[in-house]
Structure 1
Amino acid sequence: MSSSLNPSIDRARQAERIAQAEVHVFRADQHAEICHELVDGHQAVLKAYGIKSLTTFNRDWIGNPKVIVIAAVGLGAGVDGRTGRLLGGARMHGAHTVDELPLLKAIGGQDSGLREHMEPYVEEGAFELGGMWNSIEMAGMGVEATFMIQAAMAALTICGGRHLFALTSPVT
């Protein structure tokens, strides 16, 4: 039986404590193994919330130089002895046209005005933030998923982007 009314709080209390983490930002055509770990971690978080499938959940973006990856990596060895453990991450899809954005592919058919709304932003340099998640260990450090958004905003300027789109669920 859980000691609190919120099982997530119990999991955070039992999670391994991580003292330090680094944020790594790189193109998806680099470090394929980290990209695959990010997909696996995101899938595990979604599964914990009961989400089993998403329209745009795939690995097609791995190897695409227009996709910027943000990875939070724990420093030091964990209980499992692994060093450089992935604690969370996100990815930013760059686009020259609206059709290149996963958001439009996922829900464009449900909102006829979405394409028209997004086009001027894409012309000025837009990215879409997706695949964002963080581990219970990272949450145990007091670092929320909003940290990934802040890292994305910082990376956006480095990548020459002016606008960042994101679609998120209130559940996650």
Structure 2
Amino acid sequence: MIHIRTFRAPDDPEACSKFIVGHKRLLELYGITQITSNVQEWVEDYKTIVILVEDKETKFVYGGARIQLKTDRFELPISSAIGRYDAKIYDMINADDQRGGTCELCGLWNSREVAGMGIGSHVLARVGSVLSAKLPIVSLFVLCAPATVRMGKRVGCVVETSLGNNGLFYYPKEDLVATAMRLRDWNDLSNADDSEREKIISLRENMHQVIEERGPKGVYQLEYNLDIPNLHDAV
């Protein structure tokens, strides 16, 4: 069975290594060799939460994402990515940080083995929204490729049109476009699709569920185990 679990990055170095290798391999298929969210310093950051999609029995990693909290040590990858094009991103992040904390959902990827199952396009964004309610933050940023903008909107994110060209940037290459989006308040899901809102609320209330998911390739069982071990430990 396909299984999703979450953990603080330093708590599982082996899983982080698998995550990095799989993500790098996928990026290279698209000719992308430099991307800010792929800097590997996050593996030592206790404020980085890894979302891992794997086979429950074999531990083969099918994909994942990260939630990186803004700290004094680590800026959000989105600020490094687009800050040189529009410095307003720094003010936006700092304002959210001051009103309660902020983070970024970044490094989303899925392997070819699960392509067409909706894991990279829907499930990981849903989990990001679910986890935002469990973290010391008020908002969540995400930098979306064109194919994943709809994903962000489904879970309640809005395009930050005050940034760049109505939210658009040429990143990570000049021939690729990225869209700056934000879940402005994790407690406000009014912009989310009705079906997604129900799933997000259900998972926030019960973090361990087996749910029947439906993607372009059909129906499959997906086990969610979203409790983050050691989340409140001092570091």
TM-score, normalising length from structure 2?
A: 0.57
**How far does the alpha carbon of each residue in 1:10-34 deviate from its partner, in whole angstroms, 9 at most, with x for none?**
xxxxxxxxxx211111101110111
Structure 1 alignment gaps of length 5 or more: 1-19, 77-82
Cα displacement (A) at 1:106: 2.3
User: Is residue 84 of structure 1 aligned with residue 65 of structure 2?
Assistant: no
Which residue of structure 1 aligns with residue 26 of structure 2?
Answer: 45
Q: Which amino acid aligns with 1:101?
A: L
Q: Which amino acid aligns with 1:114?
A: I
- Which has the bigger relative contact order, CA under 8 A and spacing at least 6? 1
Moved over 4 A (4+): none
Aligned with 1:147 (options 117, 123, 131): 123
Measured in 2, the distance between the counterparts of 1:98 and 1:61 equals: 10
Aligned with 1:157 (options 110, 126, 133): 133
Structure ranking higher in strand proportion: 2
User: Is residue 135 of structure 1 aligned with residue 111 of structure 2?
Assistant: yes
TM-score, normalising length from structure 1?
A: 0.76
Measured in 2, the distance between the counterparts of 1:71 and 1:56 equals: 16
Q: Which amino acid aligns with 2:60?
A: R
Which residue of structure 1 aligns with residue 85 of structure 2?
Answer: 110
**How far does the alpha carbon of each residue in 1:121-161 deviate from its partner, in whole angstroms, 9 at most, with x for none?**
12222111111101122225453432101111111112232
Which residue of structure 2 aligns with residue 72 of structure 1?
Answer: 53
Which residue of structure 2 aligns with residue 23 of structure 1?
Answer: 4
Which residue of structure 1 aligns with residue 42 of structure 2?
Answer: 61
**How far does the alpha carbon of each residue in 1:30-87 deviate from its partner, in whole angstroms, 9 at most, with x for none?**
10111111111111111112212224432110021010100011134xxxxxx11111
Q: Which amino acid aligns with 1:134?
A: N
Structure 2 alignment gaps of length 5 or more: 149-235
Q: Which amino acid aligns with 2:83?
A: G
Which residue of structure 2 aligns with residue 15 of structure 1?
Answer: none
Give aligned pairs, total: 147
Identity of aligned residues (%): 31
> Relative to structure 1, is the Cα distance of residues 62 and 98 closer, same or farther in structure 2, using a 3 angstrom cutoff?
closer
